[in-house]
Amino acid sequence: MSKSIPKSDWHPASWQSKEATQQATYPDLAALDRAVADLSRLPPITTSWEVDALKAHFAKAQAGEAFVLQGGDCAETFDECTSENIVAKLKILLQMSLVIIYGMKKPVIRVGRMAGQYAKPRSADTETRDGVTLPSFRGDLVNRSGFTAEDRTPDPQMILRGYERASLTLNFVRSLIDGGFADLHHPEYWDLDWVGHSSAAAEYHNIVSSISDSLDFLETVSGRQFHRTQRADIYAAHEGLHLHYEQAQTRYLDRRERWYNLTTHFPWIGMRTAQLDGAHIEYFRGIANPVGVKIGPGMTREWLQGIVEVLNPNNEPGRLTLIHRFGAKSVDDHLPDMIRTVKEMGAQVLWVCDPMHGNTESTSDGTKTRRFDNVVAELEAAFRVHEAMGSYLGGVHLELTGENVTECTGGARGLIDTDLARAYKSTVDPRLNYEQAMEIAMRISGLNKS
Ligand code: PEP
Ligand code: CO
């Protein structure tokens, strides 16, 4: 295993000497320091062996032997840290993974955008309403969404509240996985009414009944319930945006001689904070976790080369995931050059497609949405481009929820713009609902059988 860079060259707070974009401006820096110190003393949310296990899984996906399903909310909220929400999210991720396993005949690595997805980048530092200007809402880890000066003032205590919610979430996820998951993957618990509305209804019913037969078969031959024979691990991931939060739970493990970010398993750097000389790249280069970087239309060859060199100097398998999000219209123009750049470097990376963030648009009344057909089109193009270039698309990154919200249009029920008002709950990006997410899984299942 490769060693960390020397400690003298990096430490969990060395990012502070670089420019950190998208950070909150705390009015009381002493209070922030106290919160960071308090957070540093609390036990970690994840362990280094789980983090290393995920890296090993990613190495398999990178080699074409597995597929990564990463999904969850654009932003989790403290209010939605409820039993129902967590169960619904696990259910959709688990059911999607079974559909993809069935189609691809490969193991699926499940990663939730959860247990810490509480900080958001914003296009402006402030928001003005009726002549009043206040700091933008940056997610529950930072401030509150209400439009008062008190709500919007960054509060250092919220990193502690976020840590607690993340721990509660992952604790419940682990309990469900260990014990109560049996029900969730049985097809009678699948909500498949929507399938009848799809032109591919027969094929979709066939997929589900085949999965059902396979599960029954496994349970019969083993004499045990599926969840007793097969552990459905779910890993946690969030955008590593709020660097004080990430720093506070970063630990040096003597026996591994490396630093680990133990707030999560898989942190990623967003599009807006991936500057080579910036604080986020500086922080991420020193941790041993598998790390992701979002790449979109502004990414250049030189920039990408820099990211690969700095974040994975030893070409460690499973270490670096490139999550591309070009949009259905641009993916064919940009992705080939990115793949070529990485190939020319002889670098090993895991390629994942995020078909959400390049396809955000607004309806005529200003509602943020994404069209199901564009999401599918980007995914299809991504599979096609990778295959044509002898590369492997090893995963998908989705914003989804297990609930029946109406935030994205299209899908089997043909949601249209005027349906969106019915159950639009996201305060940030629009998510695929349960049915749309299942349909995406069925599409993926049919897309890649290589
Ligand atoms: C996100 O994943 O919610 C996000 C902000 O994505 P990106 O950095 O790709 O814009
Ligand atoms: Co988003």
pLDDT digit string (tens) for 361-413? Answer: 999 999 999 999 999 999 999 999 999 999 999 999 999 999 999 999 999 99
Alpha carbons 2 and 18: distance in angstroms, whole number: 26
pLDDT-based confidence at 2, cuts 50/70/90? very low
With a cut of 60, say whether residue 58 has pLDDT above it: yes
User: Which residues are within 8 A (CB) of 39 and not within 5 positions of it... i.e. 6 or more apart?
Assistant: 159, 160, 163, 245, 248, 249
Question: What per-residue confidence (pLDDT) applies to 202?
Answer: 85
> How do beta strands 67-72 and 393-399 pair?
parallel
The amino acid occupying position 40 is S
pLDDT-based confidence at 19, cuts 50/70/90? very high
Alpha carbons 395 and 382: distance in angstroms, whole number: 10
Q: Is the minimum distance from the CB of 119 to ligand 1 under 6 angstroms?
A: no
Question: What per-residue confidence (pLDDT) applies to 231?
Answer: 73
Q: Which atom of ligand 1 is nearest to the CA of 325?
A: 9
- List alpha helices for 313-371, DSSP H: 331-344
- Which candidate, 61, 11, 19, places its Cα nearest to that of 322? 61
The gap from C-alpha 381 to its chain's centroid, in whole angstroms, comes to 20
Question: What per-residue confidence (pLDDT) applies to 198?
Answer: 85
Residue from 74, 294, 354, 426 to probe ligand 1 pocket by mutation (most atoms less than 8 Å from CB):
294
Residue ID of nearest Cα to ligand 1 atom 1: 74
- Which candidate, 174, 199, 212, places its Cα nearest to that of 446? 199
**Dihedral in degrees, nearest 10, Cα atoms 135, 140, 146, 147:** 0
Residue from 357, 398, 401 to probe ligand 1 pocket by mutation (most atoms less than 8 Å from CB):
357
Question: What per-residue confidence (pLDDT) applies to 209?
Answer: 86
Backbone angles phi, psi at 45, to 5 degrees: -85, -35
With a cut of 90, say whether residue 217 has pLDDT above it: no
Distance from the alpha carbon of residue 157 to the mean position of ligand 1, in angstroms? 25
Q: Calculate the alpha carbon distances from 239 to 75, 146, 214 in Å.
A: 10, 23, 36
Per mean pLDDT, which range of 56-65, 202-211, 320-329 is the poorest?
A: 202-211
* CATH architecture of residue range(s) 14-447: Alpha-Beta Barrel (3.20)
412: region left, alpha or beta (phi > 0 left; psi from -120 to 50 alpha): alpha
With a cut of 90, say whether residue 228 has pLDDT above it: no
Distance from the alpha carbon of residue 186 to the mean position of ligand 1, in angstroms? 33
Distance from the alpha carbon of residue 400 to the mean position of ligand 2, in angstroms? 10
What share of the chain has pLDDT > 90, as a percent? 83
The string of pLDDT tens digits covering residues 133-157 is 999 999 999 999 999 999 999 999 9
Per mean pLDDT, which range of 113-117, 158-162, 199-203 is the poorest?
A: 199-203
Alpha carbons 94 and 434: distance in angstroms, whole number: 12
Q: Is the minimum distance from the CB of 271 to ligand 1 under 6 angstroms?
A: yes
279: tokens are: 């604080």
What share of the chain has pLDDT > 70, as a percent? 95
Q: Which atom of ligand 1 is nearest to the CA of 74?
A: 3
What's the longest Cα–Cα distance across the chain?
Answer: 69
| Ligand of minimum distance to the alpha carbon of 280 | 1
With a cut of 50, say whether residue 450 has pLDDT above it: no
Distance from the alpha carbon of residue 75 to the mean position of ligand 2, in angstroms? 7
Alpha carbons 184 and 103: distance in angstroms, whole number: 19
Question: What per-residue confidence (pLDDT) applies to 207?
Answer: 87
Radius of gyration, CA atoms only, the chain? 21
The Cα angle at residue 447 between residues 441 and 450, in degrees rounded to 5: 120
The string of pLDDT tens digits covering residues 338-357 is 999 999 999 999 999 999 99
Domain limits, the chain:
14-447
- Whether the CB-CB separation of 122 and 138 falls below 8 Å is answered with yes
Question: What per-residue confidence (pLDDT) applies to 177?
Answer: 86
Q: Is the minimum distance from the CB of 68 to ligand 1 under 6 angstroms?
A: no
- Which candidate, 91, 284, 249, 259, places its Cα nearest to that of 185? 91
Tokens 């960071």 found at: 36
What's the average model confidence in pLDDT over 110-125?
A: 97
Q: Is the minimum distance from the CB of 278 to ligand 1 under 6 angstroms?
A: no
With a cut of 80, say whether residue 448 has pLDDT above it: no
What's the average model confidence in pLDDT over 124-137?
A: 96
Mean pLDDT estimate for the chain:
93
96 half-sphere exposure, CB direction, 13 A CA radius? 36
| Ligand of minimum distance to the alpha carbon of 354 | 1
With a cut of 70, say whether residue 240 has pLDDT above it: yes
- Give the DSSP letter string of 36-98: HHHHHHSPPSS-HHHHHHHHHHHHHHHTTS-EEEEEE-SS--STT-SHHHHHHHHHHHHHHHH
